[in-house]
Amino acid sequence: MDTDALEESEGATGSTTNSLGGTRHADALAVHAVERGPRRLWLVRVPKPPEVTALAALEQELAAYTQQVKLLNESASVKKVARDDARKDTQAAREAYRLCRDAYNACMEVVTPLREAARGSAGAGPRRLRESYPELEVWSVAELDERLAGMEYRLQHESVPLAEEKRLVAGLKRLAGQRARAEEEARALREERAAQKEVLDGFWEAERAVDAEVEAILAERRRLKELQDEAYARVSEVRRAHRERKDAYYSSRRHSTGVRALLREPGGVEKARAMCGEQVDRQLAVLRDNDDYRAEYLTLIEQQRGRPSTWEEGEEAGNGARRGHSRQPSLPLTEEETKERAQGTIAAVLEQARSRAPRAEPAHPEPERAAPEPESAFELPAAVAARARCETAAAEADRAAEAERQRACVPGCGRWAWRLGLQGLVRWWIGAAARFYRENEMAMVLALIGLIVAAVAYMSLTAA
C-alpha cells in the first residue's frame, strides 16, 4: 500500500520511535540545537487523477451531433415553408373543385327527381311533378329517343297532312336540340369536375410528398437527437467521474494540510493521529469494497511511483521547498529549545562576522620598542648585541612597510573609512539585536531576521 508519512516530534529527550517501533538517538546540531526524531503519522496516498483523453473525443462527437441536428432543423424549416405553399395551392384547387361539384350537384338536384318520377308508377307523385314542369314534353332520354323515333316513323311511313308534318318536323328539331344541349351540358359539367378533381389530386400528391419529406427529416432529427442525448450523457458521466476523482484528490490534499496545521498547534498531535486513522480506515474500506477503484488505484500508483508526491502539489510549498520534493513537517519546538537554537544562531553569526571583518590599521606607526633584556643571565654579550640589532632591523622594516602601505592607500582612504563606518554600524546593529533578544525573549524571530539581513548585507558589501 502506498502511503505518505507526516513526522510527529517527541519530547526533548532526544530519542524517537520510528514506524517500525525501533529506537534511535539523535545527534545534537551545532550551536546548542537539538534534533528530535520523528514518529510517523500515516496517510493513504490518493493518486492524482490523470487527464481524461477520451473526453475530447466525446465532446467532438457531441458537437458533430449538435451540428447535424442544427442542419436538419434548417432543412425542416425550408421544407415546412414548401409544405405551406403546397397547402395554399391545394386549398385553391379544393375551392375550385367545390364550385364545380356544387354546379354539378345543382343540375343533379333537378334531374334526379325527374328520373325517379320516370321510374315510378303512375300516380299522384308523377302527376304533381308533371304539373310542376308543364314545359317538359319528355322525362328521360329513353322517352325522348322513343318520341323521336315515332315521329320519324310517321313521317316516313304514314301519310299525314302538311300541317301535321310541319309540326312533327318542328318537334323533331326541338327535341333533338334539347337532347344535344342536355348532353353537352352534362358532358361539360362532368369534364370540368374531372379536370378539377385531377388538379386537386395533383396538389394533394405534392402536399403529401412534401409532408413525407418533412416527416423523414423530423424522423432523422429524432434519431440524431437520441444519439446526441446519449453522447451528452456519456460526456456528463465522464465529467462527473473525473470531477469526483479530482474532488477526492484535493480533499486528500486539504486533509493533509489540516493534519499539518494540527501538528503545529500545542496538543494537536492526538487530533492529527485521529484524523489520520479515520482517513486510512475510510480509504482502505473503499479499496477493499470497490474492485474497479482498486484496479484503477493500483494502476495510477504504479504510474506515479516514479515521481514523489508533494503534499503541496499545485500550491505554494513555502519555506524554500522545491516542487517534486516532499518534506515532512515536525512538531513546533518548545520555548526553551527555541531559545537555545536562537542563541546558538546568534553566536554563530557574530563569530562569522568577527572572523570576516578586516582589522583597522593604526593611523600612526607604533613607537620604536627598546630592545628586550636578555632572557637569561647566562647569555653572552655578543649574542645579546646581535639579537638587539636583529630586532631593531625588523622593527625598522615593519615601519617602512607600513609607511609604504599607507602611501599606497592614500587614494582609497575615503572608501576604507566608509567601510569602517559600515562595519561599526553592523556591529552596533548586532549588539542592539542581542540586547533586544536578552530583554525580550518572545521577539527572537524579529532579532533573527534582523541578524540574517545584516549579515547578508555585510557579506555582500565586503565581497564588493
Could you read off the pLDDT of 191-228 as tens digits, one per residue? 887 887 888 888 888 888 888 888 888 888 888 888 88
| Per-residue model confidence as pLDDT tens digits over 36-56 | 445 678 888 888 888 777 788
Arithmetic mean of pLDDT, 90-113? 77
Same domain? For 76 and 198 the reply is yes
Is 221 part of any domain? yes
Residue at 220 is within a domain: yes
Residues 67 and 191 in one domain: yes
278 belongs to a structural domain? no
Domain of 124: which CATH number?
1.10.287
Asked if residue 44 belongs to a domain, the reply is: no
pTM of the model: 0.39
Last residue of a domain, one of 205, 238, 271: 238
Question: Could you tell me the three cell numbers for 1?
Answer: 500500500
Q: Is residue 37 part of a domain?
A: no
- Does residue 343 share a domain with residue 230? no
Statement to judge: residues 230 and 123 lie in one domain: yes
pLDDT surpassing 80 at residue 300? yes
Per the model's pLDDT, the better-predicted residue between 50 and 333 turns out to be 50
Range 386-389, long-range pairs (CB < 8 A, 24+ positions): none
Is 19 within the bounds of a domain?
no
pLDDT (average), residues 342-366: 58
Is residue 337 very low, low, confident or very high in pLDDT (cuts 50, 70, 90)? low
- Report whether pLDDT(137) > 70: no
Do 201 and 344 sit in the same domain of this protein?
no
Structural domains in the chain (count): 2
Query: Could you tell me which of 50, 3, 58, 43 has the C-alpha nearest to residue 245?
Result: 50
pLDDT-wise least confident of 40-54, 254-268, 371-385, 425-439: 371-385
Burial class (CB in 10 A: 0-12, 13-18, 19+), 153: exposed
pLDDT value for 249: 87
Rounded Cα gap, residues 272 and 270, in angstroms: 5
Q: Is the pLDDT of residue 428 over 50?
A: yes
Residue with the larger pLDDT of the pair 197 and 391: 197
Same domain, 222 and 369: no
Boundary of a domain, candidates 210, 238, 266:
238
End-to-end alpha-carbon separation of the chain, Å? 55
pLDDT tier for residue 376 given thresholds of 50, 70 and 90: very low
Please indicate, yes or no, if residue 69 is contained in any of the structural domains: yes
Question: Cα–chain-centroid distance for residue 370?
Answer: 91
Same domain, 234 and 342: no
Q: Name the least confident of 43-57, 240-254, 384-398.
A: 384-398
102-111, 260-269, 279-288: which has the minimum mean pLDDT? 102-111
Of 213, 238, 263, which residue is a domain's last?
Answer: 238
Q: Of 184 and 420, which is predicted with more confidence?
A: 184
Range(s) of the domain holding residue 352: 335-463
229 and 370 part of one domain: no
Percent residues over pLDDT 70 in the chain? 50
Burial class (CB in 10 A: 0-12, 13-18, 19+), 366: exposed
Which has the minimum average pLDDT: 20-24, 70-74, 321-325?
A: 20-24
Higher pLDDT, 392 or 323: 392
User: CB-based contacts of 179: which residues, under 8 Å, 6+ apart?
Assistant: 141, 144, 145, 148
Residue 441 domain-assigned (yes or no): yes
